[in-house]
Chain A
Amino acid sequence: MLAFAILIVIIAACLAAPWYAQNISQSDPFASNLDGSITLAGQPVDIMQSADTGFGVTPIGPTWTQKYFLGADDQGRDVAARILFGGRNSLLIAAGATLICLTLAGLIGIVAGFSGGFVDSILARILDILWAFPVYLLAISLSAVLISRGLKLGPVTIDSDSLLIPIAIIGIVYVPYVARPIRGQVLSLARSDFVLAAVCLGVPRARILWKDILPNVITTLIVFAPLMMALNMLTEAALSFLSIGVQPPAASWGTIILDGEGLLYTRPAVAIAPGLAIMLTVVALNFLGDGVREAFDPRAKIRVQK
Chain B
Amino acid sequence: MKTIWLIAAALLAVMQAAHAQNHRGGTLKLVAASSDGSIDPQVNYTDQYWQLFIVAYDGLVAFRKSAGSSSNDIVPDLATSVPAPQDGGKTYVFKLRQNIKFSNGQPVTPADVVASFERLFKVNNPNAGSWYNNIVGGDKCLTAPATCTLPDGVVAGDDGTITIHLVKPNPEFLYQIALPFGAILPAATPPHDMGTIPIPGTGPYAITSYDPQKAFILQRNPYFKVFSPEAQPDGYVNEIDFEFGVTGENAVTAIENGQYDLDMDPSLPADRLAEMSTRFPRQIYINPLLADYYAPMNVNIPPFSNLNARLAVNYALNRRDTVQIYGGKNLGVPACQILPPGFPGYQPYCPYTKNPGPKWTAPDLAKAQSYMQKSGMAGQKVTVITDDEGVDPALGTYLGSVLNQLGFVATTHVLSANIQFNYIQNTNNKVQISITLWYDDYPAPSDFLNVLLTCGQIHPGSDNSVNIAGYCNKQYDAKVQAALRDAITDPAKANTEWAAIDKQATDAAAWATLFNPKQLDFVSARLGNYTFSEQFHLLFDKVWVQ
Counting CB contacts under 8 A, is B328 at the interface? yes
Q: Complex Cα distance A143/B92, Å?
A: 53
* Chain B residues positioned under 8 Å from A51 (CB to CB): 273-274, 277-278, 328
* Chain B residues positioned under 8 Å from A54 (CB to CB): 277, 328-330
Residue-by-residue, is A18-53 near B (CB-CB < 8 Å gives 1, otherwise 0)? 000000000000111011000000000000101101
Contact A55 B402 (CB under 8 A): no
Residue-by-residue, is B42-74 near A (CB-CB < 8 Å gives 1, otherwise 0)? 000000000000000000000000000000000
Counting CB contacts under 8 A, is A57 at the interface? yes
Residue-by-residue, is B408-439 near A (CB-CB < 8 Å gives 1, otherwise 0)? 00111111000000010000010000000000
Residue-by-residue, is A155-169 near B (CB-CB < 8 Å gives 1, otherwise 0)? 000011100000000
With A57-B324, A248-B397 given, is the CB distance from A265 to B411 under 8 Å?
no
* Chain B residues positioned under 8 Å from A236 (CB to CB): none
Q: Complex Cα distance A148/B387, Å?
A: 13
With A30-B401, A161-B411 given, is the CB distance from A50 to B328 under 8 Å?
yes
Q: Complex Cα distance A247/B413, Å?
A: 6
With A56-B271, A58-B271, A75-B397 given, is the CB distance from A250 to B411 under 8 Å?
yes
- Min Cβ gap B158→A in Å is 57
Contact A31 B404 (CB under 8 A): yes
Q: Complex Cα distance A50/B276, Å?
A: 14
- Min Cβ gap B387→A in Å is 10
* Chain B residues positioned under 8 Å from A75 (CB to CB): 394, 397-398, 401
With A35-B318, A56-B270, A56-B271 given, is the CB distance from A249 to B401 under 8 Å?
yes
* Chain B residues positioned under 8 Å from A31 (CB to CB): 401, 404-405
Partner of B415, one of A57, A148, A250, A266: A148
List the A residue with the shortest CB-CB distance to B423. Answer: A148
* Chain A residues positioned under 8 Å from B271 (CB to CB): 56-58, 74, 262-263, 265-267
* Contacts between the two chains (Cβ within 8 Å), count: 124
* Chain A residues positioned under 8 Å from B277 (CB to CB): 51, 53-56
Contact A74 B394 (CB under 8 A): yes
- Min Cβ gap B249→A in Å is 6
With A32-B397, A75-B398 given, is the CB distance from A161 to B274 under 8 Å?
no
* Chain A residues positioned under 8 Å from B273 (CB to CB): 51, 55-57
Counting CB contacts under 8 A, is B333 at the interface? no
Q: Which of A217-276 contact B (CB under 8 A)?
A: 243, 247-250, 262-267
Contact A243 B249 (CB under 8 A): no
Counting CB contacts under 8 A, is A147 at the interface? yes
Q: Which of B278-303 contact A (CB under 8 A)?
A: 278, 281, 284
Supplied contacts A34-B321, A266-B272, 20 more A-B pairs, CB within 8 Å: A31-B401, A34-B325, A50-B328, A53-B281, A55-B274, A55-B284, A55-B328, A56-B273, A57-B325, A58-B274, A74-B325, A75-B397, A160-B411, A247-B412, A248-B414, A249-B400, A249-B411, A265-B271, A265-B272, A267-B271
